[in-house]
Amino acid sequence: MFSMTVKSYSVQRSSMKIPLVFSRQKTICSQLGTVKLKLLFKATVYGFTGPAFLQRCSSHSPTVSVGYNASGFVFGGFTQQPFTQSGQFVNDNKAFLFTFSGEKLIKYPVTNAAQAVKMVNNCGPHFGNGALILLNGNQPVVHTNPGQHYNFNAAEMHGNDLNLIECEVYQVEGMLSKPWRMMTWTKKELMESIKTYKPTVSSVPQARVLMIGPVGAGKSSFFNSINSVFRGHVTNQAISGCASTSLTTQFRTYTLKAGREGKPLPIILCDTMGLEEGNGAGLNVDDISSILKGHMPDRHQFNSAAPLDSEAHGYRKSPELKDKIHCVVYVLDACKISILPTKMEEKLKAIRNKANLLGIPQLILLTKIDEACPLVEEDLMNIYRSIYIKETMQKICSQLGVPLSCVAPVKNYTEEWELDLNCDILLLSAVNQMLRFADNYFDDINPTNKPLFFSNC
């Protein structure tokens, strides 16, 4: 995950007393690259229980977990996977356990990456199949079982003293020395580029962009956010919020305006019902073809159990090019990429196949980047210096089979009242990419840019 050859480090201290002395923090950091450690959880402050640990550490990654006993042993484990309550094992080929012998770090690499970490709710950090469990049974004790996916000597690790006097979890924050992707951090230039955009096909006044994603990923929030940028203040036109099921129940087509009394912008954002894992819940994947081909009317009420029928009211039997989708955007939560359910991944791939067959370009919109990485939360301009964000982008690219150039990270407006310049720039950059991708679609169907005439289809 992190370069093993880089030896620079820094440590972020907290107002809480940190027993992990500076020299040992330095040693851990040297194993992980150019990083700093941020204290997330301290058992003597928050409690020696699994729920207390999860409340502070859930969805944070990568992390270093550290246990301390009265015999003076300092030991623990590293994982790049976020902790959850799924009850499942997660794969992590970079995970390792460790102990200190004086100032020397003794490292025990994972031997079975598929079961490197287990996600449970009645204890603290749980490595392997019980190889190392901190806060076992919601008590200040440790459980170890050498050989269960990590090979180590228990006496060497903790001196067979299983009583904890402290347990801490640190977030590993990584930074590249320079941004890996260059971008324009000028808001005026980006806004002007969007305002003056014209589709290369004269019969199409506005590029239509379809937003698809799991419940809660931020589809509707993205429209509200980019709408806010052009309105000059935070808006909430599209229904958005937190819920276990989709708040969007209709197919909606939203036109952006250049200000309150401004002209419509050359892009239409199409919002859909959120995807859910189970069959018969959330957006019906069979509805996707109707949307892509331009058959579905605005405000169509989705039915998870049955897709749009060709005899339904408002069904567009003979859609024109301007009614069809010109770019598909998958909206995904950066905090949940590493735990994306298999069934959700399968649904996204099925949709991707439908779009590929129609030659529609596709983009991934990665939301909640500030929640996923504290370095980005501190400063959005760190987005392309964050090792964690880059690896998250690479992971979803691998899962869905898209190049890294097709991923745009953004932060939506969800709690703010006022606009933030760097947040605006990331949002505008994403819209610019959508328009460029739409151009690719128009160029593909009309390489000579001559007027097009379509028969009914």
Tens of pLDDT, residues 284-299: 888 899 999 999 988 8
Strand, coil or helix: 208:
strand
Tens of pLDDT, residues 133-175: 999 999 999 999 999 899 999 999 999 999 999 999 998 887 7
- What number of CA atoms fall less than 13 Å from residue 236's CA on the CB side? 9
Residue 349 to residue 328: CA distance in whole angstroms = 13
Among candidate residues 99, 173, 90, the one with its CA nearest the CA of residue 126 = 90
Band of pLDDT at residue 33, cut at 50, 70 and 90: confident
Asked if residue 241 has pLDDT above 70, the reply is no
450: how many CB neighbours lie within 10 A of its CB?
A: 9
Asked if residue 239 has pLDDT above 80, the reply is no
pTM, full prediction: 0.68
Asked if residue 77 has pLDDT above 80, the reply is yes
Dihedral angle, C-alpha 387, 390, 395, 396, nearest 10 ° = 150
Do 275 and 347 touch, CB atoms closer than 8 A? yes
Sign of torsion over alpha carbons 16, 17, 19, 24: positive
Asked if residue 121 has pLDDT above 90, the reply is no
What's the token pair of residue 284?
């019906």
pLDDT of residue 456: 41
413: how many CB neighbours lie within 10 A of its CB?
A: 25
Q: Give percent of the chain with pLDDT exceeding 90.
A: 61
Mean pLDDT of 112-132: 93
pLDDT of residue 169: 95
Asked if residue 9 has pLDDT above 70, the reply is no
Mean pLDDT of 305-332: 91
pLDDT of residue 449: 58
Among candidate residues 125, 169, 117, 156, the one with its CA nearest the CA of residue 143 = 125
Asked if residue 17 has pLDDT above 60, the reply is no
* Helix-helix angle 421-445:219-231, to 10 degrees: 110
User: What residue type is assigned to position 360 of the chain?
Assistant: I
Q: What are phi and psi of 9, to 5 degrees?
A: -160, 165
Among candidate residues 203, 135, 211, the one with its CA nearest the CA of residue 169 = 135
Tens of pLDDT, residues 380-419: 999 998 888 998 999 999 999 999 999 999 999 998 999 9
pLDDT of residue 13: 33
Rounded to the nearest integer, the mean pLDDT of the chain is: 87
Enter the DSSP assignment of 118.
E
